[in-house]
Amino acid sequence: MNSPLIQARGLIKRFGDFTAVDGIDVDVRAGEAFGFLGPNGAGKSSTMRMIGCVSPPSEGELRILGMDPRRDGPRIRARLGVCPQLDNLDTELTVRENLTTYARFFGIPRKVARARAAELLEFVQLSERADSKVDPLSGGMKRRLTIARALVNEPDLVLLDEPTTGLDPQARHLVWERLFRLKQQGVTLVLTTHYMDEAEQLCDRLVVMDGGRIVAEGSPRELIERYSTREVVELRFTTDEQGTYAEKLAGMADRIEVLPDRVLMYVADGDDALAEVHRRSLSPSSALVRRSSLEDVFLHLTGRTLVD
């Protein structure tokens, strides 16, 4: 009953000499929203493709819905909903036909497919566009349609690869809200993202991947507690040499990070720390106390170097 929907042990994916996924262990339980976080090239999408049964693992053990993807691909995919990173909707077809034709691939009778399409279009707020073609839809609408298509077989497990990448803030919030509703309905969500706010909003549990490995695992709260402090003080000084302040601030924070334009102090209590800064008359030109976020964890674990 409580066996995990996804169970990976020592999962490896190689492409020639390149190892995209380098031995990861993952358990995703029914009803949870699970996230894969990481910079570009961390191995998130390769992992998702293995879970989606369109990419055979090179090594290791992978069980999905209690089945073996190497053998039971079609049977597993019948119970998955997949929302790929790039929309692959049918631009020639109408919004509704995109759902009804896709439903047929699952052997869903036409009548049921039509009813379900109507329901799902309602759910993703596209009912008014049901008979319009896909091409003129906005990015956010296309994304919602792709999500609706992933739900057409009433899946046990929905895979979302960077569900809101490239969307404007309004569109993102609408997608998040819909995904949150799905989660409340008990649908198990597995998503990849490099947006920290997305992970904090949606994920019960997540793993941070870097270079094909899992570097941290836990709930957003746990990860912040483990790898960051409760609060962060961001200080800017008028001089170009932010670095010279690092020594003066030493001992006042758990960890200090010097960036080209500001200095970050990782502390338990930001206001206390800032008061201490002022008491030592270090007088920064601006100061901001904020709660530590998953972004701090992420940057701490995967570094600030740009990955393309």
Nearest CB to other proteins, comparing residues 121 and 233:
121
| Contact call for residues 149 and 104 (beta carbons, < 8 A) | no
User: Which residues does residue 15 pair with via DSSP β-bridges, in sequence order?
Assistant: 18
Nearest CB to other proteins, comparing residues 97 and 272:
97
Nearest CB to other proteins, comparing residues 102 and 195:
102
**Secondary element (H or E) of residue 115:** helix 110-123
Report in angstroms how near the CB of residue 121 gets to other proteins at its nearest: 17
Nearest CB to other proteins, comparing residues 110 and 291:
110
* Residue 224 DSSP SS3: helix
Report in angstroms how near the CB of residue 43 gets to other proteins at its nearest: 14
- Residue 170 φ then ψ, to 5°: -60, -45
Nearest CB to other proteins, comparing residues 17 and 240:
17
Report in angstroms how near the CB of residue 122 gets to other proteins at its nearest: 22
Compute CA distances 2 → 25, 65, 79, 118, 138, whole Å: 18, 11, 18, 33, 40
**Which structure tokens are listed for 290?**
């904020």
Strand order through the sheet with 157-161: 80-83, 157-161, 188-193, 33-37, 205-210, 213-218
Nearest CB to other proteins, comparing residues 93 and 258:
93
* Angle, CA 292 vertex, CA 291 and CA 297 arms, to 5°: 170
The residue whose two tokens read 């809200």 is: 177
Report in angstroms how near the CB of residue 86 gets to other proteins at its nearest: 7
Report in angstroms how near the CB of residue 175 gets to other proteins at its nearest: 19
Report in angstroms how near the CB of residue 50 gets to other proteins at its nearest: 11
Instruction: Count CB atoms within 10 A of the CB of residue 11.
Output: 23
Report in angstroms how near the CB of residue 103 gets to other proteins at its nearest: 9
Nearest CB to other proteins, comparing residues 97 and 269:
97
Q: Given the rule CB under 8 A, which residues bind other proteins? A: 15, 49, 52, 54-56, 73-75, 77-78, 80, 82, 84, 86, 88-93, 97, 101-102, 104-107
Question: If we measure between CA atoms, which residue out of 206, 204, 180 comes closest to residue 192?
Answer: 206
Cα–Cα distance measured from residue 132 to residue 297, given in angstroms and rounded to the nearest whole number = 44
Report in angstroms how near the CB of residue 147 gets to other proteins at its nearest: 13
Compute CA distances 131 → 6, 94, 148, whole Å: 37, 5, 15
Cα–Cα distance measured from residue 56 to residue 235, given in angstroms and rounded to the nearest whole number = 49
Nearest CB to other proteins, comparing residues 18 and 184:
18
